[in-house]
Structure 1
Amino acid sequence: MPNPFKPTAGATPPLLVGRRPILEAFQESIDDGPGAPYLLQLMTGARGVGKTVMLNELGDVATRNGWIVIHATAGPGMLDRIARRASTYRQELGSRDRGPETTSWRITTPVGELGRESQTSGSELRIWSDELADLLDVLEQHGTGVCVTVDEIHSLDLGQMQILAGDVQMLVREGRRISLIMAGLPRAVEELLAGDSRPTTFLRRAERPLLADVPVAEVADSFLQIITDADRSISDELAMECAQATGGYPFMIQLVGYHVWRQAGRGPITEEHVTAGVAAAQSRLGALVHEPALADLSAVDRTFLVMMARDDEPSRLGDIAGRMGKDSRYASVYRDRLLKAGMIRAAGHGLVDFEAPYLREYLREHAAHLVAGQDDGGQS
């Protein structure tokens, strides 16, 4: 029997734990038709909580209802990629080809140009939403629509955000069967939507599911079900021990399950297997999640985190600043950066805590090469 656990970023787990209400709400909105609330969603959550998995799952719900799903990741050329996919789907559905004069397009905005230039017979510049609208026209005949998912929305520049939001808003106002589901880090998304422009106001009205950690009891039940369904055995007590080791962190659920299963070989899972599997999972979490996340930070950001890790509980900003040899105003700059990056979370007045499990332990083990010198040394 293959290992049922999937500790790979974005891979669909064998059992989706604690997320069923979001999927059910989306199905209800598809049934209710254009303008239903959960057709427009902006999911947020820390790294590793399963945002990409949820985008895939919601896309599967749409597909089962006969909708076309276009998955995209925020970044340069995103609207171009969505337009190309929409055009390809329209052609596959047998819609009339508009000819070579409309095979490429250009968007001119205050922040620059997106895409490539092409003109219609009336010398009108085509934009990405025209391709989407054409596909929607074809699907309307069948009573279905288009679901666009955008991952890492916090990486989208303001210009593309305004175009995306403005054009989808127009399609919604026209009563089109269109769904836009986005995902990103909480603090970064808040800052992205902080402007006063009308398109971002439209996005602020989106449903805002927050993907949090899964209750440990539900995790334990999932371990029992997955392992039993795969013709292995584990006691209730050991399933709970595995669950507690995950802290309810979705990616850690897959890591623990994968390595405990691997340790057990073909027999029943024992205490020895759980102990070894949890240790292996913690090590892999450091390599797969903590190490790359820390590599994206400046030296001073990392120093802030190392100074936090000296505490066994949520840290006070003043204590962190003192350990850095700086004042609280200086430290608050890096606190805000780390909140935006999804590395830490607010834990009460003047308190911060780590967002991901075992990051504290990882920082303690690797503190020597993570701490910056006394000069600023890091990126601004």
Structure 2
Amino acid sequence: MIAHRGSPEPSPFSPGYGRRPLVFGGHGVEIAELTEVFETADFGENQSVLISGLRGAGKTSMLAQLQDAARANGWLVISDDAGSGLMDRVMETTIPNLLNELAPDSGKRLTSLGIGQLSAQWESVERSRDVRPLLRRDLIALSTVLAERRPHSGILITIDEVSSGKARLRELSRFALEISHAIGEGANIMVVFAGIKVDLDALLEHDHTTFLRRSRELDFRRLTPAETRHVLAESIRIGGKTIDEDALDLLVSFSQGYPYLVQLAGDYAWRSSEASPTISLADARAAHGRAITAVERRVISRVFQDLSEMDQRFVQAMAVDFGRTKIADLVQRLGVSDQYVQVYKKRLIESGYVQADGRGHVSFSLPYLGDYVRSMASDRPDADGRGWDHHPPPSRTGRGQ
């Protein structure tokens, strides 16, 4: 008779997009300082915040952390992404829903404040309006009612996935302008934009975003080895298991502090252990290949495809080296001037994919990007050492090449 172990416990790791990690890695000081704003409504430098970083670096998770902290302190939260129609979604749906939750018995008060977009619950309220509805008026009205009912609270606005597309930047700049006017008229608002740095920089260069240029900036990249170990070990502990030290060492080593990969590595190792109370080295080894393959397919391949043709050539020239690359070698490999290389070096560093690595050198900051680029260029052989050049496709006539 076969003895069955107990049912496996659910994984404590969250590799899915936008899911809150059980243990948030790093940025503890920043989280504490921003949370203090929700407790005191004393903004300091935190009236507007820009969160930049790699895909999978934890930007969306950070927004979720802030949203939870704001709600816990009685703040209202407006959360959206920078997709087309942002202004309409916020004015026609989000703000009316918040008003219904906040003050369902305050129709006359809201009308006197000049609220422009009312949900069906408010349509019976008599009101007159001679001017076009403005987001700034709605935010001021919402902030005023909130202050009467919940003193020392405010409104947190988080906008994710900032894009540098021209149409989206125009709408985002209008959105930012309305927020700046509302803040200027006394509304208690903290606004947080998140995206890749080059896209955030493009937003700052646009019209009507002057107040955002004084924002506090948070840069999300890789966790330190100690932070990575803490996230893995603490998540496993909270989940109800233990992990062998050599298994933990391997997970830390191959996840390279990349937050999305940390969650993938832990999740695969946890599931490999099934109902066992301990994650072993064999489980960590089973997770290794699966996690790297998954991150290459889901993140790194898309990052590479998003790069311009010259950016791709730049990283391909870097990938020749299995470590840091000399700028002088890039000049030679690309056949361009040093000044030209410096322009693309700056772009890729600001995007978070490349980092300066000593005087006159660069290296990849996105783990496994170099490996992925090399794998695309390689002619991977069969077990007999013979690659595809020894296996040409048949011609359509069947007579060979």
Aligned 1:124-139 pairs, distance under 5 A: 124-139=131-146
Moved more, 286-295 or 53-62: 286-295
Q: Does 1:171 align with 2:182?
A: yes
CA distance in 2, matches of 1:209, 1:330: 29
Question: What is the CA deviation profile of residues 123-162 of structure 1, one whole-angstrom value per residue up to 9, with x for unaligned ones?
Answer: 2111122222222222111223211001123537543344
Counterpart of 2:22 in 1: which secondary structure? coil
Equivalent residue, structure 2, for 1:182: 193
Aligned 1:25-104 pairs, distance under 5 A: 25-33=33-41, 35-84=43-92, 85-93=94-102, 94=104, 95-96=106-107, 102-103=116-117
1:270 to 273, 280, 301: 280
Q: Aligned AA for 2:182?
A: L
CA distance in 2, matches of 1:58, 1:49: 16
Please report the TM-score for the alignment, with normalisation by the length of structure 2: 0.79
Equivalent residue, structure 2, for 1:375: none
CA distance in 2, matches of 1:362, 1:76: 33
Unaligned runs of 5+ in 1: 105-119, 370-380
Q: Does 1:236 align with 2:269?
A: no
CA distance in 1, matches of 2:28, 2:69: 12
Equivalent residue, structure 2, for 1:295: 305
- Cα RMSD for the two superposed structures: 2.7
Q: Aligned AA for 1:231?
A: G
Instruction: Give structure 1 regions of 4+ aligned residues with deviation exceeding 6 angstroms.
Output: none
The 8 Å contact of residues 67 and 156 in structure 2, kept in 1 or not, is answered as yes
Equivalent residue, structure 2, for 1:108: none
Equivalent residue, structure 2, for 1:227: 236
CA distance in 2, matches of 1:279, 1:122: 62
CA distance in 1, matches of 2:221, 2:193: 16
Instruction: Please state how far the C-alpha of 1:33 moved relative to its aligned partner.
Output: 1.7
Equivalent residue, structure 2, for 1:112: none
Q: Aligned AA for 2:11?
A: N
Unaligned runs of 5+ in 2: 1-8, 119-126, 380-401
Aligned 1:338-377 pairs, distance under 5 A: 338-367=348-377
Moved more, 285-294 or 237-246: 237-246
**Structure 1 residues 271 and 207: CA distance shift in structure 2, 3 A:** same
CA distance in 1, matches of 2:160, 2:57: 13
The 8 Å contact of residues 364 and 370 in structure 2, kept in 1 or not, is answered as yes
Bigger Rg over Cα: 2
* Count of residues in Structure 1 that have an aligned counterpart in Structure 2: 351
CA distance in 1, matches of 2:42, 2:131: 28
Q: Does 1:214 align with 2:223?
A: yes
Question: What is the CA deviation profile of residues 312-331 of structure 1, one whole-angstrom value per residue up to 9, with x for unaligned ones?
Answer: 22223332242234444554
Equivalent residue, structure 2, for 1:22: 30
**Structure 1 residues 300 and 35: CA distance shift in structure 2, 3 A:** closer
Moved more, 176-185 or 291-300: 291-300
CA distance in 1, matches of 2:221, 2:350: 16
CA distance in 2, matches of 1:256, 1:158: 36
Instruction: Please state how far the C-alpha of 1:336 moved relative to its aligned partner.
Output: 4.5
